[in-house]
Structure 1
């Protein structure tokens, strides 16, 4: 499975997963033309996209959804999340499935799990590459990670998870109190510490690939996010580049 994180952060999120000649997108949070350009830059033609899976309806995850209409790509999201998703032709709208795999045309099996964000029906996804037998978990905007989410994601080979902020930086920021409260709430975003704690439960030291994503540009630093996760995994006896690989996006 090839992972291309085309965009990450509050300005937009879009992840391409490719196996063979088949690609699926997780989120489409940048303009349609930018998605097309970034796909071509990594050697993917947009007409090879089999499906799009949306975590939730916020614009930094849905801005580029007109891409689906142009290429007639089916779009999946939580059933209630369609209340606030616009711009997708009705015949392309689908509920986020427990399983997505027709056995012939698609390489993928995709399962959805509930996350905790200020949206109607936010989801994370576990993607199985049936050709290469690789499992990838994607957990973006969520204010907390509960045990059912850990159970859904465990035994993955790849983890793409947000490590959004350092709480002390949020508290010291010039954000309005309402924004600070939202970010730090159970329906906000994961702190570096929350992400590290979740990964400490998930990583088994079998060479897993971790991508830390959706970092706040004003309330986090890449090195801080990385060090927080490395410290938590070291406490479990796991060393970066020996037991797992890690990239901050």
Structure 2
């Protein structure tokens, strides 16, 4: 249950602003890669280009040997790309279970009815929300909404999982649980791209990191080497405490 992901000279312009500047990165099946960089460096734009929320100005997004940069987001989901968002995006009028059931109708392996309900309950339990399927989203606190969004993403059994600052805002206990959960997905062979500012998590989860600054890749390699690269340290200086 994994697939390779390749970005070839990926570029995104918003008017005169170049948000992503000819980014080329290859990610092997089952690899967990941290996508790092200071605020405004283009990380979330890259995630949007991979998932189909945005179309590139030029360049390619390849899933396995298939170019998908012009494939709509809902069809990329069917091809096995799933994600969470930097700001949680759920259907607030639905229950937790129905948010997941809705996604299961559009995933790589579409299911409905009792099977979908079973998959939804299993996903909720996996993220630490067992038995909360009937709870309405709007009654969940922020952290549990983030858990639900992850449950929705993994319930579709994706090949590629994109996590955009999913660990942000967790307290130390929740952070430990979150790191362990991502580690479990890693052990299951899922290909994961993780945008994150919490270095403790990055060091533990990601054997490899890609660092962006001003829309371009400035470092790509083993995490320990990348995080000690002077260019990376300089890019982060003043953005958050480097530790």
Same fold (TM over 0.5): no
TM-score if structure 2 supplies the norm length? 0.37
Task: Identify, as 1 or 2, the structure richer in helix.
Answer: 2
TM-score if structure 1 supplies the norm length? 0.36
